[in-house]
Amino acid sequence: MRFSPKQKQALKLLKNGGLKRLNIFEGSVRSGKTYISMIIWGLWVARSPKESSYLMAGKTMGTLKRNVLEPMTEIFGSRFTYNTTKKEARLFGRRVYLEGAANASAEGKIRGMTLHGAYCDELTLFDESFFVMLLSRLSERGAKLIATTNPDNPSHWVKRDYLDNPKIDLMSMSFTLDDNIFLPEDYVRALKSEFCGVFYDRFILGKWVAAEGRVYEGFSKANVISSKEMSEKLAGNRLIHSAVGVDYGGNGSASAFVHIGFDAGYKNMYVLSEYYDKKNRSAESLISAFSEYISREKERFPALNEAYCDSAEQLLVKSFRQSVKIEVKNARKKPINTRINMLNRLISARRLWVSEDCPHLIEALENAVWDEHDIHKDVRLDDGSTNIDSLDAMEYAFETYERQLFGF
């Protein structure tokens, strides 16, 4: 195994007894922090009581498997096995429980446990009550917690109550992208180009900073192309897939449909057309508008085969499904800031192209701002002064394709 200077520094903590009760490896993406934290976790468990119990937790079981369990199998081989169905693993013969920690109900799943050690992946995404309960379960003498996280808002509970709390028995180590000396230079340049603003500060520089100003500060007229330019781009980069996102009107908001498409390898995302109506339409009128829009777009772009709708109105989704000949699904509705980060990465890397025939969406991208009245959280302003409906519709259409767009 090869280690960067920063990773070697982390390993010395284990060798020289420098680990504390809480140990948090935080910083940018692809910085090597998760890799070294897994090695330290495994080696520490191997030295710990065999009869004790341990826990590994992630935001969800799916993210835990992808980010930690699968890589640990490569690192430790037969000395680490896991079964996500049974939610158990074996690490150097020690019993390890597996758990997701995204919501308050997860806290009850570990209540009553007695643990000697715990590993937490993506700590800022945990429910706080789960983490508080977890600390109370680490009750054996010499118990330790090892965690990783990307930075967030400086007011996040991880930063406020733990990293900045001098009374906590805690070791923290900060990583930046440049600490990972094994990444190819062209990959590092490309990754840096994909982030801007607050997300660059957090995910590249590893800083805990608040979100201020424009949400999509990298978006400009350079991302907007004419119908002729769109046709020329698509002539050389045929769409392999396209989808429509749907956000409903009501309570003063608009009904919005946004059609997006991808070329080969999901290299670029194209916003092809939009529907926007602030009238308080009846359900029957909205169903008719949706059916007509899908029929027209399907004729223009045969790659269209699915639509993603806000899941709040299931009767309307059912009617939509019956009115068209493509698949109509519930939107995944990932956290808003996850969707914002995805779009900002596409904008910064010049992988987003918006047709000039989408004036409402273009205006929404230009005018979206962070809520200055809620600086302790990253909240996109949604007070009716800007068009959030078109943004939501577009995000419902592309959020499912995070892995295809970014390779994870």
Per-residue pLDDT reduced to its tens digit, 307-326: 999 998 899 999 999 999 99
Number of domains in the chain: 2
Percent of the chain, pLDDT > 90?
A: 86
Asked if 139 and 271 sit in the same domain, the reply is: no
Residue type at position 304: L
Residue type at position 344: N
Query: Helices 283-300 & 314-323, crossing angle to 10 degrees?
Result: 40
pLDDT at res. 126: 94
**Structure-derived torsion over alpha carbons of residues 361, 366, 370, 373, reported in degrees to the nearest 10:** -100
Asked if 23 and 161 sit in the same domain, the reply is: yes
87 conformational bin, left if phi > 0, alpha if psi -120 to 50, beta if neither: left
Residue 68, domain CATH: 3.40.50.300
Asked if 239 and 352 sit in the same domain, the reply is: yes
pLDDT at res. 374: 74
Which residues, including other chains, have CB under 8 Å from residue 350's CB and lie 6 or more apart? 222, 223
Q: Tokens 């940018």 sit at which residue?
A: 28
Query: Is 214 inside any structural domain?
Result: no
With CA atoms as reference, report the closest residue to 118 among 92, 138, 142, 102.
138
Q: What is the pTM of this model?
A: 0.74
Asked if 57 and 126 sit in the same domain, the reply is: yes
Distance CA 333, CA 249 (A): 17
Distance CA 121, CA 118 (A): 10
Question: In this predicted model, what pLDDT tens digit does every residue of 154-166 receive, in sequence order?
Answer: 999 999 999 999 9
Asked if 138 and 254 sit in the same domain, the reply is: no
Asked if 258 and 401 sit in the same domain, the reply is: yes
Query: Is 361 inside any structural domain?
Result: yes
Q: Please say which residue of 161, 183, 205 terminates a domain.
A: 183
Q: How confident is the model at residue 280 (pLDDT cuts 50, 70, 90)?
A: low
Residue 286, domain CATH: 3.30.420.280
Query: Is 354 inside any structural domain?
Result: yes
Q: Evaluate if residue 250 carries a pLDDT over 80.
A: no
Query: Is 312 inside any structural domain?
Result: yes
Q: Please say which residue of 163, 183, 203 terminates a domain.
A: 183
Which DSSP symbol is given to 90? E
Q: Evaluate if residue 185 carries a pLDDT over 70.
A: yes
Asked if 247 and 372 sit in the same domain, the reply is: yes
Query: Is 201 inside any structural domain?
Result: no
CB pairs under 8 A, 24+ apart, for 287-290?
287/316, 287/319, 287/320, 287/323, 288/323, 289/255, 290/246, 290/257, 290/320, 290/323, 290/324
Query: Is 192 inside any structural domain?
Result: no
Asked if 116 and 240 sit in the same domain, the reply is: no
Q: Tokens 């004790």 sit at which residue?
A: 52
Domain membership of residue 123 as a residue range? 5-183
Q: Please say which residue of 162, 183, 204 terminates a domain.
A: 183
Average pLDDT rounded to a whole number, residues 96-122: 92
Asked if 225 and 179 sit in the same domain, the reply is: no
Asked if 262 and 353 sit in the same domain, the reply is: yes
Q: How confident is the model at residue 378 (pLDDT cuts 50, 70, 90)?
A: confident
Write down the mean pLDDT value for the chain: 94
Q: Flag the least confident range among 169-178, 187-196, 347-356.
A: 187-196
With CA atoms as reference, report the closest residue to 34 among 184, 165, 180.
180
Distance CA 260, CA 70 (A): 33
Asked if 228 and 143 sit in the same domain, the reply is: no
Q: Evaluate if residue 390 carries a pLDDT over 90.
A: yes
Asked if 375 and 329 sit in the same domain, the reply is: yes
pLDDT at res. 408: 60
**Both tokens assigned to 35:** 């890799």
CB hemisphere CA count around 16 (13 angstroms): 7
